[in-house]
Amino acid sequence: GFQELVALLLPLLENHIYHAPLRVSFATVYRHVPSKLPEFGSILWHSDNHHEEELKCMIYLNEVGVDQAPFEFLRHKDTHETPVIVPSMPRKYPRGRIPPEVIEEFLAQGYESHKMLGPAHSTFLFDEKIIHKGNYAIEGYRDVVVLQLRPTMYHTPPYIGTWTRSF
């Protein structure tokens, strides 16, 4: 199950990305399906106000095309640079939701929306402070494991424990 998946993945991230022991501070599984609801929550453009060293890992559990609610983020058309919202208190934007006029400004400056497509087991590691959003599926669905990771001073197996939040 979940512990086994994390036990396979996290040593790779510890050794090749963080160079430090990791802990999962948040873990959940989402299913994004077609919906007629207005966009809200993580379906809106947003940035997460997390610590500098925290990253998010997403693992697609099924093939995700443009119609299956792909993860989406802003990047520059030429450089692929991703705009980052620096964490602050109080937050620059309420609840981290980026107003449409700010998104329009980025688009006018050469940024574009990029959707992460891929087969089942595609894994993405990203800084949660980039401007990103989820989507409703147009047809089918997207099943995804989401892990919020942070370094820790000591190895504390298992990676997911009483300190791990979820829905």
Residues 126-150 have pLDDT tens digits of 999 999 999 999 999 999 999 999 9
- Can you give the pLDDT at residue 154? 85
Whether the model clears a pTM of 0.85, i.e. scores above it, the answer is: yes
For the segment 69-87, what is each residue's pLDDT rounded down to a tens digit? Answer: 999 999 999 999 999 988 7
- Can you give the pLDDT at residue 155? 80
The DSSP secondary structure of 79-105, one letter per residue, reads T----BPPP-SS-SSGGGBPPHHHHHH
Rg (CA), the chain: 16
Q: How far apart are CA 125 and CA 38, in angstroms?
A: 28
**pLDDT above 90 covers what percent of the chain?**
66
Q: What pLDDT band is residue 96 in, cutting at 50, 70 and 90?
A: confident
Overall average pLDDT of the 104-122 stretch? 97
* Position 4 pLDDT exceeds 90: no
Residue 16: other Cβ atoms inside 10 A: 8
* Position 68 pLDDT exceeds 70: yes
